Amino acid sequence: MFIDTHCHFDFPPFTDFLADSINKIRQANIVGLIIPAVSANYFETVLQLTNNHHEIYAALGLHPIYQHTMADLELLTNIVKTKPKKLVAIGEIGLDCYDLSIDWQQQLLFFRSQLTIAKQFDLPVLIHSRKAHDIMYRELHKANLPCCGVIHGFSGSYQQAIQFVKLGYYIGVGGVISYERANKTRNTIAQLPLDSLVLETDAPDMPLSGRQGQVNRPEYITEVFKILTQLRTESPDHILNTILTNTLTLFSRINRIKI
């Protein structure tokens, strides 16, 4: 059984062919799939998908590379207050230092505000951190969230990763490890404690090696897992069981719902 902790299943490659997309994740033994919203425009779609499909769970958040308003932040707060049954996290939220055209002060404002929401409602966070790991560490350390969350799409150093792990955060393992040239990331994932890892695809983004230019899909999580077993020394069964336990521990609302 697999749980994809980060898949943009609310995007057209999947919603335009929804029945087929659902069938494919079931064939891949994906028993849970978390959709992180990227803007307020997607909140309703994400929640509707969770209501219609038992495998799907929601994370609601305002992504740093999108434009947002204070009204969007207020809407997020008001929805979280209603405690939707299948809302399991705040995300995708974070900081992005790669695109210098994005207003930095606005990023910080929305990120810190959403950390406050997560803390208030005891929800984990799905973190986007691009070229921002050191700043991110300081922000998360200061926020001191009780539920922590996932550093999504991690591609930093072992030293950076272990800092997040010591804070209580999990490291999202996705298609990056399929690229042999990504030695730093592959070595980091090989060395980190197994109980700090969760699986993700970031579909339709982050294609695996050999699939460049193609739509990434959640069912490719089986390929990510296979590569992970090649990087680790533990048995595949132990890796799978540990990662499933990690995921259910972090996203406790999935654990309380029969899957």
Residue ranges of the annotated binding site for a divalent metal cation are 6, 8, 92, 128, 152, 202
Those residues with Cβ within 8 angstroms of residue 201's Cβ, 6 or more apart along the chain or in another chain: 4, 6, 7, 174, 175, 216, 217, 218, 220, 221, 224
**Tokens linked to 64:** 């740093």
Binding residues: 6, 8, 92, 128, 152, 202
CA distance 58 to 253: 11
Give the 3-state secondary structure of residue 81. Answer: helix
Those residues with Cβ within 8 angstroms of residue 111's Cβ, 6 or more apart along the chain or in another chain: 64, 93, 94, 95, 139
Amino acid sitting at position 257: I
Task: Give the Å distances, CA to CA, from 5 to 47, 108, 112, 152, 183.
Answer: 16, 24, 22, 9, 23
